Amino acid sequence: MLRRDIVLPIPQLLAILIDSFLVNVSWAVTGLFMTTGNIFIEISYKTVALFFALFIVPVIWKGKTVGTNFMRFKLMDIGERSPQWSSLLKRFFALYLPWITYRCLKIITNMELDHHSAWFIPQIWLYVLSVLASFILVAVLMIHMILVIFKKRPTTFLL
């Protein structure tokens, strides 16, 4: 592996942000034509769009998404010219599962329950745990980002 084959973390994150931005823009445009504000339709649409953007497109474009193409790099397996579909599927789930977990927790914690409901106390505990988990996640990601950015050795971005 050559030094020029190494992609730094910031362009990787920017490529993911570009892909997710395009998914959100496509939902905003599609949502204009929908009369219902159903959150499950939004989650279903974004799930399909993320699968398309993070798995189908790189399979067709031999390792490039719109974001990686814009940032001028591609996803690849070590020793291969293009990534295997299993690597792309793992990458999709690694990016998708935190997002869907967050959305599901947000739905549950935003439900309005009566104070006398049997589910009111568990909902409060779930809300407290989700806030704590979010705080820990952000702290770990910030520490990781600082370590990666200031590390002397470059980080590889191979699947």
Band of residue 159 on the pLDDT scale cut at 50, 70, 90: very low
Query: What does pTM read for this prediction?
Result: 0.75
82 DSSP 8-state letter = S
75-126 pLDDT, tens digit per residue, is: 887 777 778 889 899 999 999 998 898 888 888 777 787 888 888 888 888 8
| Cβ proximity of 58 and 88 under 8 Å | yes
87 DSSP 8-state letter = H
| Cβ proximity of 71 and 18 under 8 Å | yes
B/e letters for 116-144, b = 16+ CB within 10 Å, e = fewer, are eeeeeeebeeebeebeeeeeeeeeeeeee
